A and B are shown apart, each in its own frame.
Chain A
C-alpha cells in the first residue's frame, strides 16, 4: 500500500482537527513528493474557537506555492 493511499484512508477516518491536519500533511508531503498548490481567490474564515459565536478572521489566498520534501540520503 502506498503512503498516499494510506494517508487517504486516514483522512476518511479523521474525527478531529489535529487528525485531519496530520492526514493532510502526510498526504501532501509524501516521500520525495513535490506538491504545487495553485490558489485562485481561495477564501477562508479562520475561527478563533468552536461554537456559533466564535470570531472569524477572513483570509483570501491567491497564487502558487510549491513544497518539496527533502529526503535524507
Chain B
C-alpha cells in the first residue's frame, strides 16, 4: 500500500468523512465492546443516539490525552454521518460528540471538534468514583 503520509489512518478517515458528507444518511445500531490500549468501551445504540460507556473519568482522560486527534476525527465522522454519540461514565452523560453538538470552551481549547463536556455529569461521575 502506498500513500506514505504522516498519518495514514487519519487520511483514510478523512476520506471516509468527505464521502459521508456527500452521501446518504446512515442509521447505526450496535452492541460492541471496543478495547483501546486495555480500556474497555461499550458501544451501544437503541435509538439514533450512540452510547459509548467508559469505565471511569480517569480512563476517559487517559484516552483523551493519548488519542486527542482521534477524538476530533470521531466527532467529524459522526457529524458527517449525521450521528451523535453520548459518552457515559457510570450512567452519567459526561460528554456528547458528533452532529448537532456545538463545541464547548474546553473542546475548542483542546481542538476536539464537535465535542461538549457536561460539567454536571462529569462532576457527579467524579464524586461517585471509587
Number of A-B contacts (CB under 8 A): 107
Chain B contacts to A: CB under 8 angstroms? 1-9, 11-16, 19-20, 23-38, 43, 66-67
Q: In the complex, what distance in Å separates the CA atom of A72 from the CA atom of B20? A: 14
Q: A29-B26, A68-B26 are in contact. Are A63 and B32 (CB under 8 A)?
A: yes
Q: A48-B7, A65-B28 are in contact. Are A16 and B2 (CB under 8 A)?
A: yes
Pick from B1, B6, B31, B36: contact of A20, CB below 8 A: B1
Chain A: residues with Cβ within 8 Å of the partner, total of: 34
Q: In A1-38, which residues have CB < 8 Å from any B CB?
A: 14-22, 25-26, 29
Alpha-carbon gap, A33 to B23, bound state (A): 13
Query: What are 22 inter-chain pairs, A to B, with CB distance below 8 A?
Result: A14-B1, A16-B11, A18-B15, A21-B13, A29-B23, A47-B8, A47-B9, A48-B7, A49-B7, A57-B37, A58-B37, A61-B32, A61-B34, A62-B35, A63-B31, A63-B32, A63-B33, A65-B29, A65-B43, A66-B29, A70-B24, A70-B25
